[in-house]
A = this chain, B = another copy of it.
Amino acid sequence: MNWPEKIIFCEVGPRDGLQNEKTTLSVEQKISLIEGAAEAGVPIIEIGSFVNPKAVPQMADSDEVAKRLRRLPGVEYRALVANIKGVERALAAGITKVKLTLSASESHAKANLNKSVGELLKGFEECAAFARENGAEVSGAISTAFGCPFEGKIPVERVASIAGRFVEDLGVTELSLSDTTGMANPRQVYDRASHMIEKFPQVKWFLHLHNTRGMALANIVAGMNAGVIRYDASLAGLGGCPFAPGASGNVASEDVLHMLREMGIESGIDLDKMIALARRLQQWVGHDTDSAMLRAGPCGGTACAGK
């Protein structure tokens, strides 16, 4: 098998992790989370989203979070946007990288944003141009890029076609394949990632994997073997599906970083600091989450010495 020497990690907890939580964190808590991740060595942090606060009330204070944040040099603080208004807010708050997310499934796009993929892309062209004119970089994400709860498996051609629009029409060179509801499997991740890298070698590919069916770390193994070195994850595994109580959401950052450490793959991130952050975050949201590190701790402890 082929392993990378190092990977590039993006913490999405402050955005994807918190957006569906019942508990609202204060601006101070969010800032402490983001600053903590940066201090632990995380090179990219998705700090929030600039979208309609009525639709996603948990992200209504992203402006204040971004403005008050103490930034470390060399760390990228990116945010999700969905329209020009969002780009304006992000720019005003000092964000220099905005992310545009499009679903590979028409049904999913319709259910989430009540727009067709074509309509969304049209709007995104304006967003991308406007962001660039104002000095911000643009990245993209394709949600339900493996499977969709409404449509089932998503054909690779459809994902490639949307990637093509991102690259050609929006000028994006950084794209994430998102397994939004945890339907990807290792064989599919390996095949799809290999296909995308071959078709779009100029793109910096991210994988954004959910652990809904327990396969996220297995999918990362497959992704690394396909040559992907950029991974999203969320502290404490926050970001579960709001319609399936108890189901896992994003794979836990600390579980990803622990596996990489055990495998001798460099992330540049302090695992112990991340576990401490995850524990604090779990206390703040006030419920159990899907994190092996918070349950069992890293390898090396003598906690589990049974038969």
Instruction: Give the B-binding residues of A (Cβ under 8 A).
Output: 1, 3, 19-20, 108, 111-112, 143, 147, 149-150, 152, 180-183, 185-188, 190, 211-215, 217-218, 220-222, 225, 241-244, 246-248, 252, 255, 258-259, 262-264, 292-293, 295-296, 298-307
Contacts and interface: CB of A to CB of B under 8 A. Distances in A.
B263 A296 contact: no
7 contacts: A111-B305, A185-B263, A188-B262, A213-B255, A242-B306, A244-B304, A247-B304
B213 A292 contact: yes
Given A111-B305, A217-B217, A292 B259 contact: no
Contacts of A218: 217-218, 220-221, 259
Nearest to A299: B183
Given A19-B307, A149-B301, A301-B149, A262 B295 contact: no
A188 B1 CA distance: 11
B255 A187 contact: no
Contacts of A214: 211, 214, 217, 252, 255, 259, 292
Contacts of A295: 244, 246-248
A296 B182 contact: yes
Contacts of A190: 1
Nearest to A217: B218
Contacts of A20: 306-307
A247 B293 CA distance: 9
B264 A187 contact: yes
B186 A241 contact: no
A307 to B, nearest CB: 5
A3 B188 CA distance: 12
Nearest to A194: B1
B152 A300 contact: yes
A244 B299 contact: no
Given A152-B300, A217-B215, A307-B180, A185 B244 contact: no
Given A187-B3, A303-B241, A213 B182 contact: no
Given A186-B263, A188-B262, A246-B295, A181 B304 contact: yes
Nearest to A247: B296
Nearest to A213: B292
Given A181-B304, A221-B221, A246-B296, 4 more contacts: A212-B292, A213-B299, A215-B259, A241-B306
Contacts of A306: 20, 180-181, 241-243
